[in-house]
């Protein structure tokens, strides 16, 4: 597969994910609100700042960042994700977001930002992609990535059924080790818990099929519907529980200035 085909495959995958991806949720009780409060307590001040949100997805953080920042550049490979973000930004009356549909390594800009923000994006894995983060960070970089645990109850059973060995996600751990190798001081906040996500049957089947497509599996729809029945906790609500461990890493480009 050539580079163009690989990019198209990634884009198509995330456009499919967008159909059932969580979107901005109001309130201070949410997971995102709690994470941002922890980041603020560290000393990161979003007020009046310029922010680059790398791999912004549907904008669950972007909307909150834009409420405080002067300007937010929201970058994602998926146009569908950006379209949902734009819809929610309009609903919230926000007009300080710039939308960029791009792969991270194709992002052509000499700009530096007060804060570079990366939440769970798979785009940051190579040395080159990490150095690009540093080039754009005028002061703070906030990075969140998995630390070896992302276990979905629903997907675990499907992986077993289709004899799939799922990927182990360690982008948080890998970034932490990379920072140490390059003598970049950082602060680590370990975050762990369980995400509880209800979806309709149609959305849940779509989400499962999208995950399995990464492994070349097209699930049998009748089996999938029968399997998911055990996860219906309220009429029409199919609930997944995903255990996670995440490294929240924060570093300051001006620390030694």
Residue 187 maps to which CATH number? 3.40.50.150
Give the tens place of pLDDT for each residue, 131-182.
Answer: 999 999 999 999 999 999 999 999 999 999 999 999 999 999 999 999 999 9
Mean pLDDT of the chain: 94
Structural domain contains residue 238: yes
Hey, how many other C-beta atoms are within 10 angstroms of the C-beta on 142? 24
pLDDT digits (tens, 9 = 90+) for 8-47: 688 898 899 898 888 899 999 999 999 999 999 999 999 9
Cβ neighbour number for residue 44 with a 10 Å cutoff: 19
pLDDT at 206: 96
Range of the domain at 145: 3-252
Number of domains observed in the structure of the chain = 1
Question: Residue 28 is encoded by which pair of tokens?
Answer: 């201070």
What is the structure's pLDDT at 230? Answer: 98
Dihedral of the CA atoms 156, 80, 124, 167 (nearest 10)?
A: 20
Q: What's the pLDDT at 2? A: 45
Q: Is residue 184 part of a domain?
A: yes
Q: In this predicted model, what pLDDT tens digit does every residue of 37-49 receive, in sequence order?
A: 999 999 999 999 9
Q: Using alpha carbons only, what angle is made at residue 170 by residues 207 and 111, rounded to the nearest 5 degrees?
A: 90
Q: What is the mean pLDDT of residues 101-108?
A: 95
Whether 257 maps to a domain, the answer reads no
Q: With respect to residue 104, please indicate whether it lies within any of the assigned structural domains.
A: yes
Q: Which stretches of 133-186 are assigned E, i.e. beta strand?
A: 137-152
Q: What is the DSSP letter of 168?
A: P
User: Would 178 be classed as within a structural domain?
Assistant: yes
């Amino acid at each position: 597969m050539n580079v163009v085909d690989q990019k198209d495959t990634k884009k198509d995958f995330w456009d499919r994910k967008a159909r059932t991806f969580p979107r901005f949720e109001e309130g201070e009780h949410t997971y995102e609100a709690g994470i941002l409060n922890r980041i603020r307590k560290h000393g990161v001040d979003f007020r009046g700042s310029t922010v680059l949100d790398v791999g912004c997805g549907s904008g669950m953080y972007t909307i909150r960042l834009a409420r405080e920042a002067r300007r937010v550049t929201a970058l994602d490979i998926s146009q569908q994700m950006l379209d949902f973000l734009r819809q929610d930004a309009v609903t919230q009356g926000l007009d300080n977001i710039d939308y960029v549909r791009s792969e991270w390594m194709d992002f052509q800009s000499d700009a530096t930002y007060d804060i570079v923000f990366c939440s769970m994006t798979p785009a940051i894995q190579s040395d080159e992609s990490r150095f690009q983060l540093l080039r754009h960070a005028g002061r703070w970089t906030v990075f969140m990535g998995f630390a070896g645990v992302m276990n979905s109850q629903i997907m675990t059973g499907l992986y077993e059924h289709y004899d799939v060995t799922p990927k182990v996600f360690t982008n948080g751990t890998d970034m932490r080790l990379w920072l140490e190798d390059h003598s970049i001081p950082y602060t680590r906040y370990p975050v762990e818990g369980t995400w509880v996500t209800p979806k309709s049957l149609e959305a849940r089947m779509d989400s499962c099929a999208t995950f399995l497509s990464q492994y070349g599996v097209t699930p049998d729809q009748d089996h999938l519907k029968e399997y998911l029945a055990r996860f219906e906790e309220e009429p029409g609500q199919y609930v997944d529980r995903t255990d996670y461990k995440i490294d929240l890493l924060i570093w300051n480009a001006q620390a030694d200035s």
